[in-house]
Chain A
Amino acid sequence: MYEILRVEELAPKIKLFEVYAPEIAEKARPGQFIIVIINERGERVPLTITGYDPEKGSITFVFNEVGKTTRQLGLLKEGDSIWNITGPLGNPSEIKNFGKVLCVAGGVMIAPMLLQVKALREAGNTVVTVMGARIKELLFFKEELKALSHRLYVATDDGSEGYKGLDFLKDVLASERFDRCVAMGPVPMLQRVCELTKPYKIPTVVTLMPIMVDGMGMCGVCRVSVGGQMKFGCVDGPEFDGHLVDFDQLIKRQRMFLPEERLSALLWELGGCECDGK
């Protein structure tokens, strides 16, 4: 059992949890993730590590309440416990002095980007950050990112704050040179970023979130095509060379269980089965 030490609502439906997990806190590095199981009937849900404090023995993660499990998770309070957490999983990000790095984060993945930016700064990079969300209410950690980055751009899908969409990046990329680009967020955003950086041959690292079950290389559901080769998102990733990823296939694979997930959420909303312990 893993005790929840702190709960913070960062934006509508986006929550941060700090959890007591000393062994994971000691090992975690930027770019890695955990697998959370709420209770004995629960799904194994991968979530990115957004912070760790070995002294306190805690880790933090941020999640979007989308389907049944993350919404159930959102109901938990300080002092409650999570049944099982496995981690840290996946390969840590490569952090070194690349020179000038463009960091692009969208949606809930703004949270792990903060950790990434911090690490890249400490390694001596010049960091230009782009944060994007659907609407301005979802732009959390703005001040924190601003403080850590050399420059911060803000974008929203509806234009309610900052730039409308990512097209402005065209101008940014045309006017300055970057040594590396790091992107985390929804697939359409990753795909767009890769299209934009490709002509400039900027090495672009994307964090992929294929469907996962075990997260340790046993099931193969997380397979993605990278440069025509089959890779496992959980053990070979989660970061890959964005210019080589088959995004269309990834999108299709991410939607594989949509009808089932919807059914599960719907039944749960309706008060569903007594099995949820309510």
Chain B
Amino acid sequence: MPKQPPEVRKHNFNEVALGYTEEQALEEASRCLQCPQPQCVKGCPVEIDIPAFIKLLRDGKYEEGIKKIKEKNSLPAICGRVCPQEEQCQKYCVLGKVGDPVSIGRLERFLADWERARGFNIPDKAPPTGKRVAIIGAGPAGLTAAADLAKLGHEVVIFEALHLPGGVLVYGIPEFRLPKSIVQAEVDYIRKLGVELKLGYLIGRTYTIPELLKERGFDAVFIGTGAGLPQFLGVPGENLGGIYSANEFLIRVNLMKAYAFPEYDTPIRIGKHVVVIGGGNVAMDSARSALRLGAEQVCIVYRRSREEMPARKEEIENAEEEGIICKFLAAPTRFIGDEKGWVKQMECIQMELGPPDESGRRRPVPVKGSEFLMDTDTVIIAIGRTPNPIIQRTTEGLAVTKWGTIVADENGKTSLEGVYAGGDIVTGEATVISAMGAGKRAARAIHEYLMSKK
């Protein structure tokens, strides 16, 4: 797929991957074998009929093709861009056993972009049921549940704490991987299904869940509040200036558009030597954003080795092409500041890999006496996020695990009647598509619950 060349793209926030041309899409689609028992579908958390949409695409029936996708997935332009396809559908594609799997994600993206350029078709909705559902959080889980419930004829209101909908899609994933106009367009589509969006409502504060159910006339609630609480290292000096959590850094840059400061009012300070701590997608996104904000050098410090890095391969490659350096097997032990309270150095310790831990990856073990110093004026901590605790603290009787995630069954049912949950708030940090899958299953369960209730 064509991309912006690294030398150019590292200076702008425009999308890196440019998408297939019609010709390229048709050629790629023609590689699909139309397997009678398609393995790819098994790898899709929302069960898109992949061979069917590829066939429609190949036959030039784009409109039918996108309709086929949207039977299962309301956010195809987003998924086509950020799904870890290599771990899902494409991992199971038979062609992958002998060579390259079909680029299913890119084909999905092609059709979604094709449709968006022409204006969305609004599908038929079931007649009104008179039931009202409150959705908490406008991330992929909440948006998906909302779309499905609206199509089933329920009145749906989404309460989102931030001033823009999209969850991680707008506040976390940078513009160069997922343009915000696309999220906006797909959210608008969900609005057109009749879903009402209330922005700037922090549930737990503005209303609690019991209030929504008892006083505000909702018959059911879906919690899709994600994993938004940043984790810190707990080492000395962590509160020095210039040390950001990845969430703060990304919220400033993406949601508040600090890359366009002072045209936008939210500032960000970025130094010459940026260090990003962590090895996942969040670390990659932070590092690549820092580079685009003008850092001279960006170094990712990860405590295991390249093999264990949880980030998508494609994004690691993109990052390295852009000149981001990776320092493996090192972990910070403290930060050292200047007289103004700004970070100037970081002390790290060398690690080596011991036997595997619970996660199945080899455990990093510090090497005694191997401390060393790195100069840095900006540090971004991207070592993980845990569930936002506001709802748990304000909803009596809601069962929660010791990690703060909400206890819910396969269909999102929680310990409280009429209250469902899904996405990162249940699983901990996961993926866009798994959050959407959870939203879908919960929507189905909520529908059954509502229709069986008098």
Contacts and interface: CB of A to CB of B under 8 A. Distances in A.
B269 A41 contact: no
A32 to B, nearest CB: 8
A220 B265 contact: no
A44 B262 contact: no
B248 interface: yes
B228 interface: yes
A264 B202 contact: no
Given A84-B200, A86-B163, A213-B252, A41 B245 contact: no
B340 interface: yes
B252 A263 contact: no
Interface string A259-278: 11101100110001101000
Interface stretch (A93-101, A133-141, A179-187, A249-257): A249-257
Contact of B265 (A86, A218, A253, A264): A264
Contacts of A255: 241, 340-341
A217 B251 CA distance: 12
B229 interface: yes
Interface in A61-95: 68-69, 83-89
B126 to A, nearest CB: 30
A213 B251 contact: yes
Interface string B192-232: 00000001111001110000000000000000000011101
A219 B205 contact: no
A218 B267 contact: no
Nearest to A43: B265
A267 B244 CA distance: 26
Interface in A223-267: 223-225, 230, 235, 249, 252-253, 255-257, 259-261, 263-264, 267
A221 B267 contact: no
Instruction: State the main secondary structure of chain A at its contact with B.
Output: mixed
A83 B161 CA distance: 14
Contact of B206 (A88, A218, A263): A88
Contacts, number: 126
A170 B265 CA distance: 43
A225 B262 contact: no
A42 B257 CA distance: 10
Nearest to B389: A217
B234 to A, nearest CB: 8
Contacts of B240: 252
Contacts of B252: 213, 219
Q: Which of B162, B232, B245 has the most chain A CB atoms inside 10 A of its CB?
A: B162
A276 to B, nearest CB: 9
B265 A69 contact: yes
A3 interface: no
A42 B207 CA distance: 25
A161 interface: no
B205 A41 contact: no
Contacts of A261: 267
A219 B267 contact: no
Given A84-B200, A89-B202, A220-B232, A235 B251 contact: no
Contacts of B200: 35, 84-87
B398 interface: no
Interface string B152-186: 00000000011100000001000000000000000
A219 B264 contact: no
Instruction: State the main secondary structure of chain B at its contact with A.
Output: loop
Given A84-B199, A260-B261, A217 B228 contact: yes
Interface string B292-317: 00000000000000000000000000
Contacts of B242: 256
Contacts of B390: 216-217, 235
Interface string B341-361: 100000000000000000000
A16 B267 CA distance: 26
A87 B206 contact: yes
Interface size class of B (residues with CB under 8 A): 35 or more
Contact of A253 (B199, B207, B241): B241
A252 B341 contact: yes
Contact of B341 (A220, A249, A260, A264): A249
Contact of A252 (B163, B201, B266, B340): B340
Interface in A9-47: 23-24, 27, 35, 37, 41-44
A252 B268 CA distance: 16
A43 B163 CA distance: 11
Interface string A112-144: 000000000000000000000000000000000
B393 to A, nearest CB: 9
A53 interface: no
Q: Which of B240, B245, B267, B269 has the most chain A CB atoms inside 10 A of its CB?
A: B267
B263 interface: yes
B358 to A, nearest CB: 26
A214 interface: yes
A272 B261 CA distance: 12
Contacts of A86: 161, 163, 200-202, 206
Contacts of B229: 217-218
Interface of B: 161-163, 171, 199-202, 205-207, 228-230, 232, 234, 238-242, 244-245, 247-248, 251-252, 256-257, 261-269, 340-341, 388-390
12 contacts: A23-B206, A35-B200, A44-B266, A86-B201, A213-B251, A214-B251, A216-B390, A219-B251, A230-B238, A249-B239, A255-B341, A273-B263
Q: Which 4 A-B pairs have the closest CB atoms?
A: A252-B341, A260-B267, A219-B248, A86-B200
Given A44-B266, A219-B245, A273-B262, 6 more contacts: A37-B163, A223-B232, A235-B390, A260-B262, A263-B262, A267-B262
